[in-house]
Every structure is written in C-alpha cells, then in structure tokens.
Structure 1
Amino acid sequence: MGIRTGRIAVAALAATCVFSVVSCSDNSSSEAGSTTSIAPGVLATGDPIKVGLFNPSKGPATQAGVTTGKNAAIEYINNQIGGINGRPIEVIDCGIDNTSPESTISCANQFVQAGVVAAVDGYNAESAAAMPILTSAEIPLVGQIPFNTATGAVPENRVFFGPPPAAFLVGFLQSLKQAGKDSLTLVNADLPQAHQVFDSLLTPLGQQLGIDVKSAYYPPAGPNFTALASTIADGSPAAGGLMTAPNDNTCNKLAQALKSVKYSGTVFLAACTEFVDVLGAQAVGAQSYSPVWLPPAIDSAPEPAKSNLRTAEQFIDNAGGTAGFYAYGTFATFVDLARALTSAPPAEFTGPAILTALKGLADYQSFLGPKLNCGKATSPNCTTDMLLFEVTGDKKTAPVSGGFITPNPEVLKLIPGAA
C-alpha cells in the first residue's frame, strides 16, 4: 500500500465513550434475573483482592455496558474459575463524568483510601487526571483501550490489553484504501479529545494515504441525527459515519438517518453492535471495529475465542442490563486480568508486583482477543491488532480481512505511545 513516512503532527488519539454505576463488590450475577442455567464452577475463597473501576456513568456520554460487563465478570471470576489465584476479586466501582477530570481525581483518591491494588480504566476520556495520584500510590492502571491521549502516550504504571486508539483509525483507513475508496466523512461528539483525533491526526493521515477526509461535530447531549446524516451524505463520500460512539442508541439512530437520506456509501459505526439487529437487511455492508471478538461474528472466530465468546455471552446475558461492545470489552479486561495473575501469580498482590506480572506477559493468548506481548518500552498497549467487522446478509458480521488487521507499524511509530 506504499505509505510514505513523514511527519504527522499529532498530539495523539483518543476516543469518547463511557460507562456506569456506583458502588461495588457485587457478586450477584443479575440485575434482571438469570436467563440460563450455569454449571457450578470453582468458588473463590479467602481475602478479596480489591480492584478499582473508573466507570463513566454520569454526564452527557454514559455507557451502561461497562456495568453489565463488570457484573458478569465478577460472577465468572469468583464463582466459575476460582477468583484470582483462588481469591475473590472485589471491585470498588466509582462513577465518573467522562467530561470532568475532577470526578476522575475524586475516584482516584477513593481508590487510594480503599487500598486497591490496581484500577481498571472503563474507557475514561479523562483518565490522565488520575495518573499522578495512582502512580504516587503505586496503583497500576489496567484497561482495554486508552481513550485519553496523554494516558496512551507513555507506558509508565499502566497496561492496556487492547490496541491503541490510533490502531483502529489506521487500520480502518488502510482497509478503505485497499478497497479503492478515497473519501471519508466522520462525525464525533464535540468534546476536546475528539478534536485532538480529528484535527491533529485524521486529516494529515488521510493526506498520507490519499483519502479525502472530512469531519463534523455534534452536541453530545442532543444530536440532530437527520442533520448529521445530511452532513455525512453531502458530496457522497465513499464512507461515512461515527469514529466513536457514546452508546448503541447513537449508532442506531444515525444509521437509520443515513438510510433515510439515501446515503449509499459504506456506513461506519465505530464500536457498535446493536444496529446489526435493529436495521436488519439494511445493515448489510456497514462496518464497525473492536479489539475483541463479538457475538455477531462468532461463526468467524477461531478457537479458543469462539468457545470463550459463548461463555462470555452466557454470563453477560445472565447479568442483565446493557450488552454490546463495552460489556464484552469490560468482561474481557477483568477476565484477562484475573487469568494473567493466576497463571503467573506474583509473590504478593501489591500494585508494583501486579504491574511487573502484567508487563511480563509474552505471547499470551487473551480471552477474546489476539496474543499479547506487554511491557513495551514505548507503549502501554499489549497489541496493535484490531478487528474491522462488516455486516453480512444474515444479521451477522465477519472480519473484512478474515481476522485481525495489523496497522502499518511505520505509521503507528509517528503517534506517541502507539507502537
């Protein structure tokens, strides 16, 4: 594909999505009641291992899927696989406003007071505000994708099991170029992190690849989806849609609006899944991204991801609440944390020992994603591989390349923390 190596002025890449709820350590599997019977597993015993969760459940961009994934993961870890090296996990779940660094700081202080040994990043766009507090207290931050530019730019005191946000953008643009598509219009919530993505990275990267990239913003509290769809359709770009999404409902409404204005290009809907069922046959050809395998693509997933995905689906269904991308991503994050620390348990469960153990993961098969190699000197991410799904004709999805896409490493090197 001949990508020219040059200067891309980037402050980096981040996303804007969010999550929910308040307090924690709930080993119950359900908000709405169990739907399927789960065979007895290995129960965790002994003193709990306390872990914090930055859970964006307040403000204009909440994401309830994180709570679902967390609840399902606690049930699976504590009552099915014997906890973390035999000990139960206890989650101190702190609700934050994804647009307020002050609420993130408050949660970080709460975690220090509670004596957690690690904190899970629930896709928090303001996570950088917590890093000085967590680092001083020797509490590592663990997550799937760093949705904050500064958090993802350096590897100190943090580990992310998924790829950097830049990988999704580079991989998506690579796929467009390979398909012969040379124009793209994407919209995003009008938040500071979104402007950094679009203004500092998306346009110059498009120029490098010969893709005409345009962007537009909408108020996160009350988008006009018909107007957004008209903006995307203007000029008939080859592809258009959302770079990030606060929830599946946003994706559903924008997808329906794009169909109503007769947009005929490739519809791109960030990290959403629900639109596959909502739109039915009209969803065919639409694309979305993910760091992990998701239920609509289970037929394409290899083992062990396929059997693990069935397990995740069962526990998430039983947990009740909102499912979708963020539920599965959160479930995978907690489970990979528990499995990694069980397979190679530290001598003691302290923040520094946990960080060392996670940084030492090499050629480690993650629960729903690719193999992980953590501890890079320049990046907190354990992989750059990402999945780009396309909707097929049977309300299912399949990866456009047959599996994971590895974004061009020379391009990723130009983005702090991405490689």
Structure 2
Amino acid sequence: MLRYPAVLRASSVLVAAMVATAGCASDTPDPQSTTSATLTKPPILVGFLNPSGGPVPQPGTDTGVKAALSYINGEFGGINGHPLEVVSCDTDTTPERAQSCANTFVEKKVVAVMDGYNLSSSAALPALTAAQIPLVGMIPFDSVTGSKAENRVFFAAPQASFLIGALQAFKAAGKTSVTLALVDTPSSHQTIDGLLPVLAKTLGINAKGIYFSPTNPNFTAVASSIAQDKPDVGGLVASPSEAVCSALVKGLRQLQFKGEIFTAACTDYIKSSPEQAAGGALYSSNWLPAAAKYAPADAQAELTLAQKYISAVSGGTAGYYAYGEFALFVNLAKALSTAPEADLTGAGVLKTLKALKDFPSFLGPKITCGSATSPNCTTQMLLFVVQPDGTAKPVTDTWITPVPQVLAAIPGAV
C-alpha cells in the first residue's frame, strides 16, 4: 500500500490523455435536454464534444451529460428559467473531426462548448475563438488546449498537476522507479516524450513511459513490458476505459508483479475483485462513489444526488467520466445562474466563468478562475488507496496541491 507522510500535503496525482468517431450534430438540439414544462424562457444552447465512440472512447461522458441535463432542467430549475439544451457532436482523435464539430457549433450559435476529455480539442479553438464561443471543461486532455488561458475555462486541475503530484507522492513513499503506460496518440507523446522526462529529472525519480495501441491493445504484452524492469510503481498515466484497467491489472497480477499498481481514474475493476485491487492507487479531480464514506458531508450529499440521476440513465455507463461530466454541467449551470440575462452569450459566459472566486465546485474544491496564464481554476486533486473492502480512501485529509514551483515550469499549469 502507498503510504504518505503528513508533510505530503503539497502533493498530488496523475493524468494525461485519450478519445472517439461518428458524424456531427443533427439539425436540432439533442433530445437529451429533458426540458421541464415549467421552464418557459428560451433555451440556452451549448455544444458538446462527445467522445463516446471511436477507437479511444470515454463512454461515461454522455451518461453524465444526460444525467446532468435531467437534473438541471428539472430539480435545479434550469438557468433562471431557461432550459439548457445540448448540440452533441461525436469526435475521434483527429483534429479534422474537432474542427468539423466546431464549425457545427458556430452554425448553431451555441454560447459555450463543453469538452468531454478530448485529445484534440485544440483543433476546435480557432473557430470557437473567432466566434467568441468559450471552450469549457474539467481536465484539458489536449495539452495544447491546456497551455493557454485564451477563450477557455477548465474547472479541474491541469494534466501537470496529476503527473507532478503522483511522482512526488511515489518518491516521498520511497518509490524511486516508475513505469507507466498510455494510449498511443499525438497528445500522449506530448506527455510521455516531452513532459515525463523533464519532471523525472526535476523530481529525482526514474520514470519510464510506454504506449499501447488505441485499436488493438495487447495488455499481456503491456504488463510484461512494465514488469520486466521491476519498477516500484507500474500502471497507467491515464485510462481510456475501465476495461483497459481491468485487463492491465489482471496481466500484472498474473505476472506476480510486486510493485505498486496505479490505475489512473478507474474504479470498476475494484468491484469484481476488491482483495486483488487492495493497496492500489488511483486519482480523481472530484469525489467518487467509492470514497463516499470518507467524504465530507456536502460531498456526500452531492454524490447521492449525482448517483441518483446517473443511475437513472437507461443503458448509461457510470464511472469517473460520468461523474466528471455531471459535475462540469452542474458547475456551468450554477455559475450562469448568477449572471444577468445580457451575459447569456458566448462573451458573457466567458466573462462570468473567468470571474468565479471561491466558487464551491460540484464534488470538488472551492475554485477561483481567471488566471492570465492558465485555463484551469484549480491545481488541487485527490489521491486514493484502495481498501480491502473495495472503498477508496484518500491519502490526506484535505485536497492535495502540487508543489507550485514545479508546476510553474509547465505552460498553462498555474
């Protein structure tokens, strides 16, 4: 089990990259808006870069969107009487698809575009910026998107927070060698080839990155590549699906890997075999159901609320991305409910979000947006260790903040 001394309050956790294929939005807003009959004002239309298909999908994101819209347009009461509606555009990992989606959103006159943890979201930025339509998300999985603050706001931490914090945490626990796998995409190479070696040298840890195919992964081979060097920690920088985590953990256990297994944000594999999962580590940008009994009262109430709506989505996929996307849309609705009618435009939405200070984010920490250099509203994260009963216990009693001096060397991190 990972164990962390009390001085590690300034530490964090790990992330990087992934995402999906199909056609762009239809001529009408997505029916997942579930508009309440009591919402009589004109709808507020937002775009959604939907990564639910393609070779590297995040299938939980559309579940989170549908659940959030049901809550926002029902129990929450809309945005000051306006229903929230979504134009969904399926993406894959190509810039061409992101550009096509952006053009669709401009045509539909959306007031914001919601990012579903896309790897190529930066390709949408030129068209959106020209039309004064902000890009809004949780974690910018495209490191180019995360490198500047212009016309974008991300409620959770940047990629660098996860990676720096995880390496800090491993070293503080006496673990000096790390081998981590990531799906082979252009954004992944930005992380593995560019960021990881610099951070490893800065932090004094031996860190190695390896890749697996987005279309035909062989996790027996990936597990063997991780285990052969006998690192102190082996696992994933980030995972495109729960199936990836399950396959890699199974492969490492079969090889009797003795090091710490890091599973990014995956949690489903814990349910099938909590004893095998025990002692493993995972990160999150928000509180998760597996950690509910350790969460503060307000987070417990929000988890109950999110779980209620996510579980009601027919055929939906729950998990990290479902809860993250639910939080994203609820944060947007809460923020825009404070804005005057005149600011329910692209420029007005950006102004409202950039002005957030000490804002109680849903399932997350208090955030302050509007940095001149970073699109992210926080650098704080949570790191958990899996317990024998299958729950995920945070390693500290508060939100973890990566060392600012290291973050400052990464464009867009602070």
The answer to whether the superposition gives a TM-score over 0.5 is: yes
**Normalised-by-shorter TM-score class:** over 0.9
Larger CA deviation: 298-307 vs 367-376: 298-307
Supply the distance in 2 between the matched residues of 1:380 and 1:357 (Cα, whole angstroms): 14
Aligned AA (1:304): D
Supply the distance in 1 between the matched residues of 2:21 and 2:77 (Cα, whole angstroms): 27
- Do the aligned partners of residues 17 and 180 (structure 1) sit closer, same or farther apart at CA in structure 2, a change above 3 Å counting? farther
Aligned AA (2:75): Q
Q: Does the 8 Å contact 2:117/2:137 carry over to 1?
A: yes
Supply the distance in 1 between the matched residues of 2:22 and 2:68 (Cα, whole angstroms): 15
Matched, 1:340 2:340: no
- Do the aligned partners of residues 189 and 16 (structure 1) sit closer, same or farther apart at CA in structure 2, a change above 3 Å counting? same
Q: Does the 8 Å contact 1:43/1:78 carry over to 2?
A: no
User: Post-superposition shift, 1:226?
Assistant: 1.0
Supply the distance in 1 between the matched residues of 2:327 and 2:171 (Cα, whole angstroms): 31
Q: Does the 8 Å contact 1:286/1:391 carry over to 2?
A: yes
User: Post-superposition shift, 1:28?
Assistant: 6.9
Aligned AA (2:30): S
**Which of the numbers 13, 23, 31 marks the counterpart of 1:26?**
31
Instruction: For residue 82 of structure 1, give the secondary structure of its aligned residue in structure 2.
Output: coil
Instruction: For residue 343 of structure 1, give the secondary structure of its aligned residue in structure 2.
Output: coil
- Name the counterpart of 2:134: 140
Query: Structure 1: which 5+ residue stretches go unaligned?
Result: 4-12, 30-40
- Name the counterpart of 2:295: 301
Q: Does the 8 Å contact 1:20/1:57 carry over to 2?
A: no
**Which of the numbers 54, 59, 67 marks the counterpart of 1:59?**
54
- Do the aligned partners of residues 134 and 283 (structure 1) sit closer, same or farther apart at CA in structure 2, a change above 3 Å counting? same
- Name the counterpart of 2:12: none
Amino-acid identity (%):
50
Aligned AA (1:231): S
- Do the aligned partners of residues 248 and 345 (structure 1) sit closer, same or farther apart at CA in structure 2, a change above 3 Å counting? farther
Matched, 1:392 2:387: yes
Q: State the Cα deviation string for residues 89-134 of structure 1 (Å, max 9, x = none).
A: 000011011x211111111000011110110011111111111100
**Which of the numbers 369, 372, 380 marks the counterpart of 1:374?**
369
Aligned AA (2:221): A
Aligned AA (1:165): Q
- Do the aligned partners of residues 42 and 265 (structure 1) sit closer, same or farther apart at CA in structure 2, a change above 3 Å counting? farther
Query: Structure 2: which 5+ residue stretches go unaligned?
Result: 9-14
Supply the distance in 2 between the matched residues of 1:118 and 1:28 (Cα, whole angstroms): 15
TM-score in terms of structure 1 length: 0.91
- Name the counterpart of 2:279: 285
- Do the aligned partners of residues 43 and 273 (structure 1) sit closer, same or farther apart at CA in structure 2, a change above 3 Å counting? farther
- Name the counterpart of 1:81: 76
Q: Does the 8 Å contact 1:19/1:64 carry over to 2?
A: no
Q: Does the 8 Å contact 1:20/1:67 carry over to 2?
A: no
Aligned AA (1:244): A
Q: State the Cα deviation string for residues 33-68 of structure 1 (Å, max 9, x = none).
A: xxxxxxxx9953321100000012333101110110
Supply the distance in 2 between the matched residues of 1:290 and 1:281 (Cα, whole angstroms): 21
Q: State the Cα deviation string for residues 271-291 of structure 1 (Å, max 9, x = none).
A: 211111122210001111111
- Name the counterpart of 2:266: 272
- Name the counterpart of 1:329: 324
**Which of the numbers 206, 217, 229 marks the counterpart of 1:212?**
206
Supply the distance in 1 between the matched residues of 2:45 and 2:51 (Cα, whole angstroms): 19
**1:90-109 alignment to 2 at 5 Å?**
90-97=85-92, 99-109=93-103
Matched, 1:123 2:125: no
Supply the distance in 1 between the matched residues of 2:394 and 2:20 (Cα, whole angstroms): 25
Supply the distance in 2 between the matched residues of 1:44 and 1:240 (Cα, whole angstroms): 50
Aligned AA (2:217): P
User: Post-superposition shift, 1:163?
Assistant: 0.4
- Name the counterpart of 2:146: 152
Supply the distance in 2 between the matched residues of 1:28 and 1:144 (Cα, whole angstroms): 20
Q: State the Cα deviation string for residues 343-393 of structure 1 (Å, max 9, x = none).
A: 344533111111100000000110110111000111000000011111011
**1:214-253 alignment to 2 at 5 Å?**
214-253=208-247
- Name the counterpart of 1:202: 196
Q: Does the 8 Å contact 2:52/2:61 carry over to 1?
A: no
- Over the residues paired in the alignment, what is the CA RMSD in angstroms? 2.0
User: Post-superposition shift, 1:20?
Assistant: 8.8
Q: Does the 8 Å contact 1:119/1:140 carry over to 2?
A: yes
Q: State the Cα deviation string for residues 151-207 of structure 1 (Å, max 9, x = none).
A: 111101100000001100011111111111111000111111111101111122112
Matched, 1:362 2:361: no
- Name the counterpart of 1:406: 401
Q: State the Cα deviation string for residues 184-238 of structure 1 (Å, max 9, x = none).
A: 0001111111111011111221122221111111111111111111111112211
Supply the distance in 2 between the matched residues of 1:172 and 1:411 (Cα, whole angstroms): 13
TM-score in terms of structure 2 length: 0.92
Aligned AA (2:78): G
**Which of the numbers 145, 157, 164 marks the counterpart of 1:170?**
164
Supply the distance in 2 between the matched residues of 1:241 and 1:43 (Cα, whole angstroms): 49
